[in-house]
Amino acid sequence: MARYFTEEHEWIDLEGDTATVGITDYAQEQLGDIVFVELPEIGMVIDKGKDAAVVESVKAASDVYAPISGEVMEANPALEDDPALVNTAPEEDGWFFKMTVSDKSQLEGLMDAKAYKSFCNEL
Amino acid sequence: MSDDTETPGNTETLPLDSWHRRKGARMVLFAGYEMPIQFEGIVVEHNWVREQAGLFDVSHMGQVMVSGDKAAEELEKLLPGAIASLKPGRTRYSLLMAEDGGILDDLMVTNATPWIEGDEEEGTEGRWGEPAYYLVVNGATKWDDIAHLREHLDDDVTLTHMDDRALLALQGPNAATALNRVMRNVIDDMVFMDSVRYDFGEWPLRITRSGYTGEDGFEISVPEEFAESLADRLCAEIEVRPVGLGARDSLRLEAGLPLYGHDITTETDPVSADLGFALTKRRREEGGWMGHEAVARVLADGPQQKRVGLAIDGRMPAREGALVYSGDKQVGRVTSGGFSPTLERPIAMAYIDTGFTDEGTELEVEVRKKRLPAKVAALPFVPHRYHRGK
């Protein structure tokens, strides 16, 4: 399984033709206490760079953009009862949604863990 | 990800800037200054203030002294509150009014007239010195406020911008316990809205039992060169931790206290803002203050809208600007809103058309094209716990 990272602080796990998407530890740290996550509806087709989810912290709402294009297959039901999972386990149990991958070439140019780490260090 | 928080640029710093950074604060731009938005996290800090005591740096706020024999009557030309009857050592919430009835700022006024001790050898008795009023105004509006005061106050009145002072707020149910350990017997007799001048060693302080969280607490004005030492002394108490502006906002929202520039503006009047308590009865009837004519009209006709609380179902917060509906009819707009850590639900303040403002009225708030059920709720959302004495 390969994990990719975007400059918008999302991670993507690719398994076959399915991608699991979440936000990174760096992102949750910046957002602070997360009180609500609005996830996309199952079956929704999302385009790379367009709104896919909204994260509400105590202080503000922040958009999460689709890192790649595809169709939403599953939204993490655990976030409904416990949105703080995004704070406590952002890169594991706090995943946002699973989607199909319409165009694998969109993954080219994304960062791996090492590249993302040095990207964050420069922020 | 996108984040609408402003990031620090070339801005001014406040006396406790490096102290905050040492304490691990995340700094943001606020009212032209770099200010700490949070230390450990907004929810933890919020709950700490509700249970223990938090130390806030509010040095961005404007501290102004207005003095002179005619200070009270001159201030009464600009504020709708009774200033002349405010006793020395007492504080009152008031408003700086525009001619058209809009609100230029909200502020705290303290009668800071000094008591001059008598001298037995010289045979003089104690007496009150020159009348002086200490104002604390909002940071974002202080320059306009000072210009407005200078323009309209009589030349016989002296206005001093105390810009060499920091302002710390110690807030929470254990604030008095902690402060009493640092400075013994200073605050024993103080109740909510009492204010004293106190020399703590060589530090000339002004301590006022007031705040912006709904909890018991104190606001302490201190010369900037002593601000760090005072902050360290207070934070050395086990009840006290530094708290950022993020929790300050969630605490004041729960306490139903309006935020200038959001819940009250030059476009809102005190009646619609439900701040009628700031219009003393005598002054409401007699007038003689800027904006009285316009406000009297609203009082006579009744306001078209009123500021109320909204308790929102579910977990999705409604933020400033969200529209409020009764069925298909738009009946108002949210002026500030967020998630209440204490109640663990979204709450908001909104201006709602008269006729839909009764407590319990069922409305809907629109957030990202979704309609969230909401009920008009009494303010404050979380009861005030001010120390009003026996």
Q: Across chain A, where does the E strand assignment appear?
A: 2-5, 10-15, 18-23, 34-38, 45-46, 51-57, 61-65, 70-75, 97-100
Q: In the predicted model, is pLDDT for residue A64 greater than 50?
A: yes
pLDDT digits (tens, 9 = 90+) for B201-251: 999 999 999 999 999 999 999 999 999 999 999 999 999 999 999 999 999
B2–A62 CB contact, under 8 Å: yes
Looking at residues A1-18, what average pLDDT do you find? 93
CATH match of B17-56+164-244 with 3.30.1360.120: yes
Residue B22, sorted as left (phi over 0), alpha (psi -120 to 50) or beta, turns out to be: alpha
The two structure tokens encoding residue B303:
């306001």
Q: How confident is residue B1, by pLDDT bands cut at 50, 70 and 90?
A: very low
Q: Out of A75-89, B3-17, B135-149, which region has the weakest mean confidence (pLDDT)?
A: B3-17
Pairing of strands B195-200, B62-67: unpaired
> Which pLDDT does position A1 carry in this prediction?
72
Q: pLDDT band at residue B4, thresholds of 50, 70 and 90?
A: very low
Among the partner residues B2, B316, B341, nearest to A58 by beta-carbon distance: B341
**How far away is chain A from the Cα of B331, in angstroms, using its nearest Cα?**
24
Quote the CA–CA distance of B11 and B28 in Å, as a whole number: 10
Predicted complex ipTM: 0.88
Tokens describing residue B229? 């030492």
- Tens-digit pLDDT profile for residues B128-139: 999 999 999 999
Nearest CA in chain B to A22: B1
Q: pLDDT tens digits for B306-339?
A: 999 999 999 999 999 999 999 999 999 999 999 9
**Which one of A27, A32, A58 has the shortest CB-CB distance to B1?**
A27
Please state the domain extents for chain B.
17-56+164-244, 63-161
User: Are B1 and A10 within 8 A, CB to CB?
Assistant: yes
Q: Give the domains, in start order, of chain A with CATH numbers.
A: 2-101 (2.40.50.100)
Between chains, do B250 and A58 touch, taking CB under 8 Å as contact?
yes
- Whether residue A107 has pLDDT greater than 50: yes
User: What is the distance between the alpha carbons of residues B132 and B185, in angstroms, rounded to a whole number?
Assistant: 25
Beta-bridged to residue A10, according to DSSP, are A23
Q: What is the value of pTM for the model shown?
A: 0.94
CATH number of B63-161: 3.30.70.1400
B1 min Cα distance to partner chain A (Å): 5
- The alpha carbon of residue B245 is apart from the nearest alpha carbon of chain A, in Å, by 10
A→B interface, C-beta within 8 Å: 8-10, 23, 27, 30-33, 35-36, 38, 54-65, 83
